[in-house]
Amino acid sequence: MTDPLSTVDCPHGLDPRWCSLCLHGPPPRAAQEPRISSCRSCGEEIIWGVFPKTRKKMPVNADPCPGRGSITIDGFDADDKPVLVARAKGTGEYVSHFATCRQAKTWRR
């Protein structure tokens, strides 16, 4: 079975499914999958989210802790970053990484 996109010609000589100049680009990530990275200090897995009004970024622990956290991810913004919403302590799903990182003091401003 042949891929129908492979029959489209790319004027740039690239695979048309991946040519960013032709705007085919790679397939988009599922919106329910936040990008996981590692803390540069302690190495734990974190998710970088953004608060919608202030546009400030904050790391949260990648593992959800229902009943313990104070942050909830409420969808994704136009840049595909998780939108963070602050909640009362114990009602959110995620914990701020600043609360659990052993090196948090070195990153605070």
Whether 55 and 69 share a structural domain = yes
Whether 43 and 89 share a structural domain = yes
What's the whole-model pTM score? 0.65
Whether 24 and 40 share a structural domain = no
* pLDDT band of 1, cuts 50, 70, 90: very low
Number of structural domains found in the chain: 2
**Confidence at residue 78, expressed as pLDDT on a 0 to 100 scale:** 78
Whether 82 and 93 share a structural domain = yes
**Confidence at residue 45, expressed as pLDDT on a 0 to 100 scale:** 94
The two most distant CA atoms of the chain are separated, in Å, by 57
Whether 25 and 42 share a structural domain = no
Whether 39 and 18 share a structural domain = no
Whether 10 and 52 share a structural domain = no
Exposed, middle or buried, 93 (CB in 10 Å: 0-12/13-18/19+)? middle
Whether 42 and 22 share a structural domain = no
Whether 58 and 70 share a structural domain = yes
Buried b / exposed e along 56-77 (16+ C-beta atoms within 10 A):
eebbbbbebbeeebbbbbeebe
* pLDDT band of 3, cuts 50, 70, 90: low
Whether 57 and 103 share a structural domain = yes
Full domain range(s) for residue 78 = 31-109
Whether 71 and 54 share a structural domain = yes
**Confidence at residue 19, expressed as pLDDT on a 0 to 100 scale:** 66
pLDDT, one tens digit per residue, over 11-42 is: 777 776 666 666 655 555 555 678 899 999 89
Whether 60 and 109 share a structural domain = yes
Residue 7 above 90 pLDDT? no
pLDDT, one tens digit per residue, over 37-94 is: 999 989 999 999 999 889 899 999 999 888 888 898 888 887 788 899 988 887 888 9
Q: How far apart are CA 87 and CA 93, in angstroms?
A: 9
